[in-house]
Amino acid sequence: MDSLNPTRRIAVYPGSFDPVTLGHMDIIRRAAKQFDKLIVAVLNNTSKNPLFTVEERKALLASATADLPNVEIDSFRDLLVRYMRTRNANVIIRGIRSVSDFEYELQMASTNHQLDSSIETIFMMTNPKYSYLSSSIVKEIAMFHGDVGELVPPEVEAALRAKFAAAPRADKRS
């Protein structure tokens, strides 16, 4: 158990992951190298209207990270800093794509530090080839039956195809 070894460095990468993209995967792979354990924590946010359920998002993340032994997939609905305490983690990982990401992330990081001064947020810059990539863009392309093969892990591509299989093709609509 984590609590038996307080010297282990445990980080949490929180987010919606609706669904996980190759941008997220790039951050996960890089962060996993820096910590003994990386917990990818899906936010169970009832105020958003997600495409995938929390269980579906966790299953997709688990499959996409199966080759990374120190990555664990979890979900939380509590305040992030409180969840982190239950997991003995004190580092939050967030990805930054743009200056506009930075403004929001700075606010979040400052708030979390205010709530618990032992918690640090570490920002990782996106790989430039994914700087435009977001879950929203992926969903939009998939909804219109566009090709997302270069943007998401294969299991996510299949799950998106299944979700939107019943939707009429955009180019066939009147």
Tell me the catalytic residues.
Answer: 24, 48, 97, 135
d(CA 69, CA 93): 18
Tell me which residue of 124, 147, 140, 132 sits closest to 15, measured CA to CA. Answer: 124
Per CB under 6 A, residues contacting ligand ADP are 15-17, 21, 23-24, 27, 94-95, 97, 101, 126, 130, 133-135
Nearer to ligand ADP, 112 or 135 (CB): 135
> The sheet that has 37-43: what strands, in order across it?
71-76, 37-43, 10-15, 91-96, 120-125
Nearest-approach distance from CB 21 to ligand ADP, in angstroms = 6
Nearer to ligand ADP, 10 or 40 (CB): 40
Nearer to ligand ADP, 88 or 134 (CB): 134
Nearest-approach distance from CB 136 to ligand ADP, in angstroms = 8
Nearer to ligand ADP, 48 or 172 (CB): 48
Residue number, nearest CB to ligand ADP:
23
Nearest-approach distance from CB 120 to ligand ADP, in angstroms = 15
Using only C-alpha atoms, the chain has a radius of gyration, in whole angstroms, of 17
Nearest-approach distance from CB 1 to ligand ADP, in angstroms = 27
